[in-house]
Every structure is written in C-alpha cells, then in structure tokens.
Structure 1
Amino acid sequence: MDVNNAFLHGDLEEEVYMKLPPGFRHSHLGKVCRLRKSLYGLKQAPRCWFKKLSDALLRFGFEQSYDDYSLFSYSCKNIELRMLVYVDDLIICGNDGYMLQKFKDYLSKCFSMKDLGKLKYFLGIEVSRGPDGIFLSQRKYVLDIVAETGNLGSRPAETPLEQHQQLSTVVSPLLDDPKKYRRLMGRLIYLLNTRPELSYSVHLLSQFMKEPTEAHWQAALRVVRYLKGSPGQGIFLSSDPDLSLTVYCDADYNSCPLTRRSLSAFVVLLGGSHVAWKTKKQGTMSFSSAEAEYRAMAYTLRKIKWFRRVLQGLGIDQSKPTRLFCDNKAAIHIASNPVFHERTKHIESDCHDVRDAVQEGVIVTDHVRTGEQFADILTKALGRAPFQYLLSKLGVQNLHAPT
C-alpha cells in the first residue's frame, strides 16, 4: 500500500514558523505563519509522519519490534499479520484474508491510502512468486544503469573485477567529472540488495569516490559490463519450511595495501535461502590471518544475535545454536579455547564474545574448505571458474536466461 501525501499527516510538536507563500496580499507583509501540521521540506516531517503511523498501528493492536523499528506485528489467537514500513510505502502480509482486508480498511480511514494489490514491484525490486518460493531481482534498474553509462552495445564481462588488479596503488590521471563516478557508485550500492556477488567490487570501488581516477572509472564500467551479461539475475527465496540460521564468515588478511587492514565478510542463510550478506573493512590492523578471521567471526556474531532476536520476535524458535562456518582452523580453536595465550592477549576483549557465545550455545563453529566458503566471493576478486561456482552456491539465479 502507498500513502498519499504522507508527510502532510504529521502533527508538529515544536514551534515552527514559515514565510508567507506567494499570492498573499501586501497587507500581510512582515507576518509569518505558524505551522500546526508538517509540510514537505521540514526536517521534522519524516519523524512526525512515522509517529502518526505508529500510533495508528498501536491502536489497532500491532506491536513494534525493538530490533527493527520499521517492523510491526499483530498476533491474536491464530491470526498473524506483519507490516514493514519504508517512509510512505507499506508491505503487509498475513494468514487471514478477512483480517487483512479489515486492517487495510482501517488504514484507509486513518490516512489517504492507495491499495496496489499483490507485491510485484517495490523500490526498484521486482518480485516474482511461484510454488517453490519468491524471486527478487532488479532487472529494470540494471538496464537503466547500463543504458545511462552507454554500455548497451558493449561486450559483457564474465566477472565484476579483473583478478589481481591493485586499484588502491594504481597510477592514473584524475577523472575529469567525478560526479558521474559517484552517481554510478550510488546506484551500484543500491543494487547490492539482490546481487551479493557485487559486494566486494562495490566495496572496493566506493573507497575512491573522493578523487576517482580513469582507472577506477574503467573498473566501474567493467562492473556495468558484467551486469549487461546478466541483468535479470537475482536472489531466490525458497518456500522450504526450514527456518534455521546458517552463517558463513570469511576474512582477507591485509587486503588493503595502504592501511594494511583486513576485510571481513559474511553470508546468512535462512533455511536454504540467502537473506543477508556484507563486506566490510576491519577497524584495526590484524597481526595474523587467524586474528583477522577471529575478528570476522566476532563481527558476524553481532549480526547473528540480531537475526535471532528478529526471528524470535516473529515467533520462530531459535533454541538451537546457529552454525557458523569458517575456513580457518586456528580461529575456530581460539573461539573454542577459553585460555588466553600469546596469540590472543593483544586482541580486544569484545572479540572474545565469540568464546562466550560458543559456551552459551548461541553458536557452534564448524570448519569449511576454502573452495566451499560462500563468503569467499565477498572478500576478493576471483577468476571465472571459482566465481561462477560460488555464484551458483549463493542462491543467485537468472529467470530471464534462455533455457
């Protein structure tokens, strides 16, 4: 559902004054208006609108999630309703058609609403349903990027980045118009919602937005050429009733040649569906690959705890420990061994939350071969063969590819 003129519904609590709009008589010169309702352009407008919407939902009987303030849940007997809010766009789902319609009628009485029917297109994300699950893609968004950069007639690339390319230390003239580079990177960042294989390349290229060079621009265009070869690629969310969490985490030791900081990455699976992924540079320099992997495990643990709380709020049992896969045996031994020694005494204490989580049964660590490490595609530029293999394991599919 979509709210018409959402920001005009908010009630202002602060004293806000505005100049008279054009068209008033000259006798009112020197006077100002005091606003009673929010207007578009006010800094308070989004907050006022969200408070107005939240109050309406709470009156109906919804509960707001403490772990995601945009998620609202309604539970009464066997009736379950869920709603996600993005500014003035609402996604509603439930297990009772009559209650869904009653709730939509209630919203229409509170606000001026537009019912857009079943979810097919949301914020640039295309949604396709089938008996096996839901497919999310951004095909139209990708084609717009390819057309805007003038690559409709270019030859597609097999991988997003060239292997072993050192973009941090490359010597190249500065780009004449850095705005086009920044605009392209902003669009690619939003594309990560359905394209996990781009996490590393976008993470790397977005570090040069201040002073991009010609080499950085050409590397970004290679990502676009890769997209041209698979514009309809996206994520498939299976309808499998298994809702257990499985997480893969990885690190690339000393990946940045300038700061010598390592790279962390993780992939979260809900059942057999990939639901979250991220690539992030570590905050401090690690002294060994085992320490880098251990820091990646600690960073991933915070995400695991958040996911478990969200799932518990949705009524999904999380009594079993979450399996955390890592390809570094030394890091796994550090996590399972509560004894401090020379290799761990300089590591910050917050990283040792991994040990506590293992002892408390929140997670259980497992070793996985590097070739089967899903998160490896998020930490480095791979060759064509390993890239295509891990891509198939990530749940990325292309419904528009010829059979």
Structure 2
Amino acid sequence: MVYSSTGCQKCLFTWYIKGDCLYASAAWFSSSRVTGIIKCDNSLFIYRKGTTVAYLLLYVDDIILTTSTAELRVHLIDLLAREFSMKDLGPLSYVLGIAVKRHANSLFLNQTTYAKDIIARASLSNCNQVLTPVDTTPKLGAKDGLPVADPTKFRSLEGALQYLTFTRPDISYAVQRIFLHMHNPRESHLHALRRIVRYLQGTLDYGLHLYKNPNRRLIAYTDVDWAGCPDSRCSTSGYCVYFGDNLISWSSKLQPTLSRSSAEAEYRGVANVVSDTCWIRNLLLELHCLLPKCTLVFFVTMSPLFISRIIHFCIMLPYKRSKRKIRIPIKFTNSVHNLQSKEITSDQSSDEKETDRVNETNAVDPDPGMG
C-alpha cells in the first residue's frame, strides 16, 4: 500500500529537531525493535515489528508511506496527524512532478506533464520529431559557435532536463553533454538542447516500469567512452543497474581526471558502478530485502584478452579489490549497452530502448527468467 500526504509545513530539519529523528514525535518509532532512520538515506524512515513493516519517505512537506497492512497505515497516519498538520491524499498518483500509474503487477512512472512544459518553454510545441536525442557528429566543444543570446533560459531548460532524467534514462547521456557547457553556452550547445526537446516531442509517453518480480538479482552494466571530451580529453562513464528486471539506477558522467589509457578509464568506470551497487546492496539490507546471490557487473569491451593483459596497469584496481568482501565479480561482454556513454545511430537506439525504456501503451510483462 503506497499513500501520499502533504501540507506538513515542516522541513526535514524540523522533523529531526522536533522528534529526535521522529522517535519522540511518533511513539511507535521508539517501540519494540524499530530500525529508525536508516544509514543509507536520511529521508527514509523504517518500522518493523514481527511481520508488519512500514516505510516512510520524506521530502520537505511531501510524504510517501507504504505499509504491509491497512491497519498499520491508518494507525501511523493518525499518529503523525497529532503532531503535524497534514492531509492524506490517498493512493500514490503524483509526487514531485512524477505521475504514478498502477497496473495489475507494476507501477508506471512518467513525467509527461513536466516534459510538455519543457517543450512549451523552449517554444518547440510544433517542432518536427527526431529519432534520437543526440546525433553522431563530432562531440561538442567549449568554443563551438557564437555565445547564445539568452544564457539564463539555456540554463533553465538544461536544469529542467536534468530533473526529467529521473524517469528517462534514454536522455541521460545527451543531457550530460550539454550540462558541461552551462557556464558558457554556445549556439551549437543550444542546437543540441533543442534536439533533445524535439526527441521528447515524439516520446512523451515514455517512462519507467517497476514490476513485481520474485527475481532479486542485482546486475549492472557499464561502458566508457575513452578520451571523448574534445576539450579536456577526459572519458565519459556510463552504467545501468537492474534489480531483477527493473532498471533502478543509471548514470552518465564525465570522469574528473584524465586517463592515460583506455584500460584506466574503463576501470574507473567499473569502480563507479561498484560504488553505486554497494550503496544499493546496503540500502536493500536495511530494508530487510536480502539478496540471495552476489552482484554481477558486466563490462562492455571489444577485447577481453587485451584488457586481461594490461589489467595490472590500472590504478583503480585496488578499489575494486577492496570490495571483494561483498562479492561483486566483474565480467566482460561484447553486447552493445552504451546509451549512457556514447552517441548511437537510430537503429542502435531502437535496439537499446527495448531494454532501457518502456512505452506505456505497448508495455508487456517481462520474462521472469531474464536477468
């Protein structure tokens, strides 16, 4: 059961002060075998007693509450209402600009309304659609073209696109490219931003499905574009993390340091995804969701033999080895899974989207045996 509330008129800091991390303000948080605030996320509160469990996610004055029983939900809302002025909005349907639609065995998350607002702000409501958010031409440089006439609007649209990536992993790499030039946007960067908006025009019904699936395997895929930045020659790391058949985490980010070899850049990318999967495993552990198997990290490379020969040169290997105690094996694969790190053609994009995004109108339940 997932319910939402609002109108608390209390910031997160006030919650901590008033209730000593909610223990004093909600008596049930301090009763028999309560976990309290979890270590991995200070905005998430957890209660567990016997077979009953409740999770409370707090953001300023918005609350998402899920409980194992209806009785516990009613009791908890009543306790919170005694301390804070709040309103029960019923089953979760809309929170922080994200629409939540319920299906038989899944939740569909999308930001269609938010995307339409971005298109309108960019004055591209009647624009022609494109098949991919980024083209395969040479990468954008810091001084390509003339400065834009309205840099404030450019930064506002780019920031809005950043928030849209919460449910749209297919635009993460394209948004990351233009984010690098927010301090001094040029006309070429504006054209790249408009291409993303034109892509959104034809993909407004895209979003993210979260399926109810017994598969509790955590699997990650990572890839690197070595020395791809034309200005700094830094590499771009990209990864996706699946929990069962659900895509739960993704990233596309320029590495902060220069890598002298492709192997060095690739192992920095592996270290990034290992760090993220460690956090996810710890979070699931504190949510009492035990993973029966170790996490697998698949690394995209064209020459596993070459990588194995120069593996001792990688300076990030000690970090990876330090994570052996939680058993995260690294495997090589030749599959194309690079939406987060490289430009791809429209044909490749169509293949990748079969995995990385879900069209609500054509959504089908995934094969339980995948992963």
**Superposition TM-score, scaled by structure 1 size:** 0.82
Q: Report if aligned partners of 1:332, 1:365 keep a CA contact under 8 Å in 2.
A: no
Between 326-335 and 135-144, the greater mean CA deviation after superposition: 326-335
Aligned pair in 2 of structure 1 residues 165, 93: CA closer, same or farther (>3 Å)? same
Bigger Rg over Cα: 1
Aligned partner of residue 274 in structure 1, secondary structure: strand
Aligned pair in 2 of structure 1 residues 383, 116: CA closer, same or farther (>3 Å)? same
Question: Where in structure 1 are there 5+ consecutive unaligned residues?
Answer: 8-44
In the alignment, structure 1 residue 48 sits paired with structure 2 residue 14: yes
Aligned partner of residue 126 in structure 1, secondary structure: strand
Determine the structure 2 residue equivalent to 1:304.
Answer: 277
Deviations 1:50-107 (A, max 9, x none): 4335324663225110111111111111101111111110000011110110000111
In the alignment, structure 1 residue 187 sits paired with structure 2 residue 160: yes
Q: Distance in 2 between matches of 1:5 and 1:83?
A: 14
**Which residue type is aligned with residue 365 of structure 1?**
I
Q: Distance in 2 between matches of 1:57 and 1:389?
A: 51
Q: Distance in 2 between matches of 1:382 and 1:173?
A: 27
**Which residue type is aligned with residue 103 of structure 2?**
G
Aligned partner of residue 123 in structure 2, secondary structure: coil
Q: Distance in 2 between matches of 1:156 and 1:310?
A: 40
Deviations 1:287-338 (A, max 9, x none): 2212211111111111111111000001111352101000232687379x7x
Determine the structure 2 residue equivalent to 1:238.
Answer: 211
Determine the structure 1 residue equivalent to 2:265.
Answer: 292
Q: Report if aligned partners of 2:134, 2:174 keep a CA contact under 8 Å in 1.
A: yes
Q: Distance in 2 between matches of 1:151 and 1:355?
A: 49
Q: Distance in 2 between matches of 1:169 and 1:123?
A: 33
Q: Distance in 2 between matches of 1:363 and 1:59?
A: 40
Residue 380 (structure 1) aligned to one of 310, 333, 342 = 342
Deviations 1:177-207 (A, max 9, x none): 1011000001000001000011111111011
Aligned pair in 2 of structure 1 residues 57, 245: CA closer, same or farther (>3 Å)? farther
**Which residue type is aligned with residue 60 of structure 1?**
W
Deviations 1:225-245 (A, max 9, x none): 000001121011111121221
Aligned partner of residue 377 in structure 1, secondary structure: coil
Q: Report if aligned partners of 2:140, 2:230 keep a CA contact under 8 Å in 1.
A: no
Determine the structure 2 residue equivalent to 1:59.
Answer: 27
Residue 362 (structure 1) aligned to one of 327, 336, 342 = 327
**Which residue type is aligned with residue 397 of structure 1?**
V
Question: Where in structure 2 are there 5+ consecutive unaligned residues?
Answer: 365-371
Deviations 1:238-283 (A, max 9, x none): 1112122111111110011111111111111010000010111112
Q: Report if aligned partners of 1:126, 1:138 keep a CA contact under 8 Å in 2.
A: yes
Q: Distance in 2 between matches of 1:334 and 1:59?
A: 59
Q: Report if aligned partners of 1:79, 1:95 keep a CA contact under 8 Å in 2.
A: yes
Residue 58 (structure 2) aligned to one of 81, 85, 101 = 85
Q: Report if aligned partners of 1:332, 1:366 keep a CA contact under 8 Å in 2.
A: no
In the alignment, structure 1 residue 390 sits paired with structure 2 residue 368: no
Cα RMSD (Å) of the superposition?
2.2
